[in-house]
Structure 1
Amino acid sequence: MTHGITVPVGYYERIDEHRYKPTVHAGGAWDPDEQHFSPLGGLVAHAIDHHFAGRPGSDALVLARISYDILGRLALDECEIQVATIRSGRTIALVEATVRIAGRPVVQARAWLLVTLDTADVAGGPGVPLAPPDSLASWPMTETWPGGYIASLDVRPLAPPGPGRTTAWVSTSLDLVAGEPSSPLASYLALVDTANGIAVRQPPTAWMFPNVDLTVHLHRQPVGDWVGLDTTVTFGPTGQGLTSTVLHDLTGPVGHAQQILTVRPLPGW
């Protein structure tokens, strides 16, 4: 309670089975009156978890890839998420999730879920863990970006952030959905889209470079409260860019994320 105003404890508040209300903490970096995609990406994973909850055999499947297409403006308004199974099976499943705001589709996502098996004897090749965040200083990312989402984060770079190249840990103390447990994966995915903001090549006051998609591939399920982002940003010569990230948890790499960018100067530049 601050000056008689209740501060939300999550990025979203549940309205009913399929509808959620974003809080001030979901405010975007390009426009605080829009939703930042990062928590919305986690909310989609949360809805997929609920879609499978209690279904026979669903405990044996884990999400291995999720790809989001951002179709339009993500207004800071009530959103509805519907999930449908496209391909069902005991060892492989494909689901599709659609996010609507004011009845209009704004995000389309597809996720592959694969069966879990004991492959520890042949596991290998993921790389080395990042230095842990405990001894690292927090970076005031709000000096670069506005919005409630960025203000909600604890960001700890391993070295001073540079143009187009940064490795950092990201965490938050907020629930994904206020007062509601979420899976470690949904909570993890709610922070991944931060990658496009930690290694800016040009100041966002002069150039726009929002991502129109996010694709995450995982070779194992992340654990813990910290998301490690080993991020490289590339701008091409004709208005396209790419943010590429090796994803980590505290024990090592877990997969990769890719975001395609539309790069354009702001009016007046």
Structure 2
Amino acid sequence: MVAEENGAQAYFLRMDDGCFMPTAHVGGAWNVSEQHVAPAIGLLVHAVEADHAARRADRLQIARLSYDIWGVIPMDAFEIAIVVLRPGRTIELVEARLSHGGRTAIVLHAWLTQAYDSTALAAVNFPSLPPPDAMPAGNPKALWDGGFIASVQARREEEGQGRARCWVRSPFALLEGEAVSPAARMMGLADIANGLAPLASPKDVAFPNLDLTAHFFRQPTGDWLGIDLSVSAGASGIGVTHSILHDDCGAFGTSCQSLTIRPKIN
């Protein structure tokens, strides 16, 4: 059951400490009766950060976020559970598990690390991205259905089949009534990369991703997420979407998605 709130300005509503309800803005691209995993991916970051803040005053920072997508998420209430797999003073490995009706849908493993002063070594060896206002408006809704895609504002510059440079943002809050970090907001958009420069129309080929892994070399800021993406595919039904992630200060990390490619038979 989707949250029946007219004019909802958020992707999720909190029901209690570990239970959340999606709004219509979470509707999936492959199937509108299922959740798009992008907002849930961001919500899992928020859950990890909230748990971390409740446990300790000395805050660690996100270094890696690795998601395995076990199955679909209905447009219904779901639960998130947090477990610290590897506690430590300077490094932690935290698991966040999203489930519906007792069935696991997404598992996140997050490495958190202590901050050190590495200013003398700071370097960015990724190509820069033009600012959002230097790119033409994009229209993901031309290819994709669902409430999530309809909620996103996009700028897009195509460079060839499977290659594009894009900026995306959303006017909606990730979680109603709660402040979330830029990292959670950015990761709530990052999964869209797989659909921004597909090798084929989703009407002809299904190519859902099995996972998403993001590595940060600094913590992101701002509202716009820049994505410099490349899609590659082999001849046996496996593909990869690789993205360099940007904010308004430049590149801050990378993400990679494994694709299962399934040509549709008419």
- In the alignment, the residues of structure 1 paired with residue 47 and residue 126 of structure 2 have an alpha-carbon distance, to the nearest angstrom, of 31
Q: Residues 1-269 of structure 1: matches in 2 within 5 Å? A: 6-59=6-59, 61-157=60-156, 159-160=157-158, 162-268=160-266
Q: Given residue 233 of structure 1, which amino acid in structure 2 is its aligned partner? A: V
**Is the CA contact 1:9–1:174 (under 8 Å) kept in the aligned structure 2?**
yes
Cα RMSD for the two superposed structures: 1.2
TM value normalised by structure 2: 0.95
Q: What is the deviation of 1:267?
A: 3.0
Give structure 1 stretches of 5+ with no counterpart. none
- In the alignment, the residues of structure 1 paired with residue 171 and residue 65 of structure 2 have an alpha-carbon distance, to the nearest angstrom, of 24
| Deviates most, 204-213 or 119-128 | 119-128
Q: What is the deviation of 1:54?
A: 3.4
Q: What is the deviation of 1:88?
A: 1.1
Q: What is the deviation of 1:124?
A: 1.1
Q: What is the deviation of 1:130?
A: 1.2
3-state secondary structure, aligned to 2:81: strand
**Is the CA contact 2:13–2:175 (under 8 Å) kept in the aligned structure 1?**
yes
Q: Given residue 130 of structure 1, which amino acid in structure 2 is its aligned partner? A: L
* 4+ runs deviating over 4 angstroms: none
CA displacement 1:149-185 (0-9 Å, x = unmatched): 000001101x246421111000011000012111111
CA displacement 1:105-144 (0-9 Å, x = unmatched): 1111100001011111111133343111124332111011
CA displacement 1:12-54 (0-9 Å, x = unmatched): 0110000100111001110011111111100100110111123
**Is the CA contact 1:142–1:150 (under 8 Å) kept in the aligned structure 2?**
yes
- The alignment-based identity, stated in percent, is 40
Q: What is the deviation of 1:266?
A: 1.6
Q: What is the deviation of 1:8?
A: 0.8
Q: Given residue 51 of structure 1, which amino acid in structure 2 is its aligned partner? A: D
- In the alignment, the residues of structure 1 paired with residue 159 and residue 23 of structure 2 have an alpha-carbon distance, to the nearest angstrom, of 29
- In the alignment, the residues of structure 1 paired with residue 182 and residue 125 of structure 2 have an alpha-carbon distance, to the nearest angstrom, of 20
- In the alignment, the residues of structure 1 paired with residue 169 and residue 159 of structure 2 have an alpha-carbon distance, to the nearest angstrom, of 17
- In the alignment, the residues of structure 1 paired with residue 97 and residue 58 of structure 2 have an alpha-carbon distance, to the nearest angstrom, of 21
Give structure 2 stretches of 5+ with no counterpart. none
**Is the CA contact 1:127–1:252 (under 8 Å) kept in the aligned structure 2?**
no
Q: Given residue 23 of structure 1, which amino acid in structure 2 is its aligned partner? A: T
**Is the CA contact 2:98–2:107 (under 8 Å) kept in the aligned structure 1?**
yes
